[in-house]
Homo-oligomer: A and B are copies of this chain.
Amino acid sequence: FRLTSLLAKGVYNAAFPLHDVSLDHTMLQEEWANYGVFFKYQPVDLIRRYFGEQIGLYFAWLGVYTQLLIPASVIGVIIFLYGFLTVDTNVPSQEMCDSMLNFTMCPLCDRVCDYWQLNSMCSTARASYLFDNTATVAFSLWAALWERERERLYSSVWDLTGLEEDEEDLRPEYEDALLQKRQKKSKAKKKESLTWRDRLPGYCINISSILLMVVVTFSAVLGVILYRICVFAVMSMNPDHEAKANVRVTVTTTAVIINLLIVLVLDEIYGAIATWITELEIPKTEAAFEEHVILKAFLLKSMNAFAPVFYVAFFKGRFAGRPGDYVYVFKDFRMEECAPSGCLIEVCIQLGIIMLGKQLIQNNVFEIAIPKLKKMYREYKEEKQGDQEEEAEDPNREPQRWDLDYSLEPYEGLSPEYMEMVIQYGFVTLFVASFPLAPVFALLNNVIEIRLDAAKFVTEIRRPDAVRAKEIGIWYNILSGISKFAVITNAFVISFTSEFIPRLVYQYLYSETGTMHGFTSHTLAYFNTSNFKPDTAPSETQFDRDLRICRYKDYRDPPWSPQSYQLSKQYWSVLAARLAFVIFFQNLAMFLSMLVAWLIPNVPQSLKEQVKREKAALMELLLAQEPPPLSRPKDADDSSPHI
């Protein structure tokens, strides 16, 4: 009988190693699980000795990751300050705020909305510029390289410590299923194992569940979009002028908060579903089970967290149509658009609120409040049990170590910790081009998180089993995949979400003076108000009733050209420039990271030599009894496989 089966059957209540109240434990409390020393390095060796390698590796990785956030944060803050200091010398946002330039914009909704002046959105334009400037582009390139470099250093360190893997124990569920299979089959093969045919039902359920979850996520995003559209339309009908001015901000903020709540709820649901469907897959070993659960949970949770941001960055506003030919949802509501200064500021807000909200709520609620509640519940339950059971021993005896430990929270594995950090890593890297302050928030969070986790491990949960682990496992692959994907997302964010490319194209291709003057007018197309669809023109207007022309943000031919309202030449040239930039950025990042890998050796020479010495010492230890001729294993010709 395995211990796990006995626990499952209720024969035993719990089985766990005891905390060792030794010098180690006290030192851990003073040197590690202590907010006062947040600026010091973690005592990784001590952690490894006490908790085992797997947990030691987690904290070591977390420490390195947090340290590497420091340069990124510093540079992010500098970038932000640069934007802050140059916002007044930036011509496009100046033009948008200039009351002399009279841009009358087309109404934002049908009938009840009036024309409006562009300079009423002045503050949004200036806020946009804080993030949408040239320095951010350079920062994203640097961040992409930093990511790849970091990943490379990790991989080289993990490779050095590799030893042969143990033969894996099979999972009990797998053995049961295998037994069932053997009983069914008439002829018993020698090397029977569950083939993909046996697992086919499990695979089908897996794939369909994942697809269903994907659909749920997209529906959630769609739901929030519809919410925004409807609320925007309803609030626009409000005749109160003051309320109308704040419509956009109100709608955006409430929508993001709803998004955040949905993300948090779905997060928990997806975690449970991932575990359930992996059970159905009957993986062979515990390691395989862990890996599959992690992969599926990560897939679902990351999609859940990033889908709203992807929508705002790449899709919002691109299907809105044009005046006289808008795209409608539910026949009456217009498809939503971004502010004329661009979508970048909205990506920023979305990203900031989801990232910070997730961190704050998950830290406070899930890691502090809920364990406290659970603890209170456990204590309450024990008091009740204590009253009911007879005390087998002296009621006045001192509570033993096992009593104290029994009242602690059971250890739940490292996966939730890793998952939270990896999703945060995704937030930081995938959209660093739109939100350079992301590393700062991640850094602040992590500094607290390390000590929070440390206190939890030392004083609030039962001592975990020490598990040997030579690497962080599947998480390394996931981090590596995120780094690669981040190059593409940042390229597209700079190219398609920000106004960087249109500004460049204007300055070097269409500007008559060679400067940025006239840029705002260049980005606004003309619309002849007589071309409004019937019953969509503003019913009341503060402007001249004979207003002939209103402007809208798009690259289309003007009404007086032969192909009125078609996508103009400027549209195609800007699109070509955007695509060219993506190719350039992606290949430049790959080339530079190869160059850096070639110039800077993979592993520092000192570390390489230290490992060489240790491996040599190991070999000597093994060969201490061998006669000299066999002491060079590489002379054993016949053991090398033939090519």
* Chain A interfacial positions (CB closer than 8 Å to B): 44-45, 48, 56-57, 60, 157, 160-161, 163-164, 166, 470, 488, 568-569, 572-573, 575-576, 579-580, 582-583, 586-587, 607, 610-611, 614-615, 617-618, 621-623, 625-626, 630, 633-634, 636, 639-643
Contact = CB atoms under 8 A, between A and B. Distances in A.
A101 B44 CA distance: 80
Contacts of A587: 488
Contact of A56 (B573, B618, B622, B643): B643
Nearest to A581: B579
Contacts of A163: 633-634, 640
Contact of A643 (B44, B572, B621, B639): B44
A614 B643 contact: no
B625 A639 contact: no
A611 B641 CA distance: 7
Contact of A630 (B45, B622, B626): B622
Contact of A157 (B580, B621, B626, B643): B643
Given A164-B615, A617-B639, A618-B633, 11 more contacts: A44-B642, A44-B643, A48-B643, A163-B633, A164-B634, A488-B587, A610-B641, A611-B641, A615-B639, A621-B636, A621-B639
A622 B618 contact: no
Contacts of A621: 630, 633, 636, 639
Nearest to A160: B641
Contacts of A164: 615, 634
Nearest to A563: B569
Contacts of A615: 164, 639
8 contacts: A161-B641, A164-B634, A488-B587, A572-B575, A579-B583, A582-B583, A583-B586, A621-B636
Nearest to A617: B639
Contacts of A580: 579
A580 B492 CA distance: 12
A44 B639 CA distance: 17
A437 to B, nearest CB: 29
A524 B579 CA distance: 25
Nearest to A610: B641
A403 B163 CA distance: 52
A164 B633 CA distance: 9
Nearest to A584: B579
Closest 6 CB pairs of A and B: A572-B572, A579-B579, A625-B625, A576-B576, A575-B576, A569-B569
A618 B636 contact: yes
A470 B583 CA distance: 38
A364 B614 CA distance: 54
Nearest to A566: B569
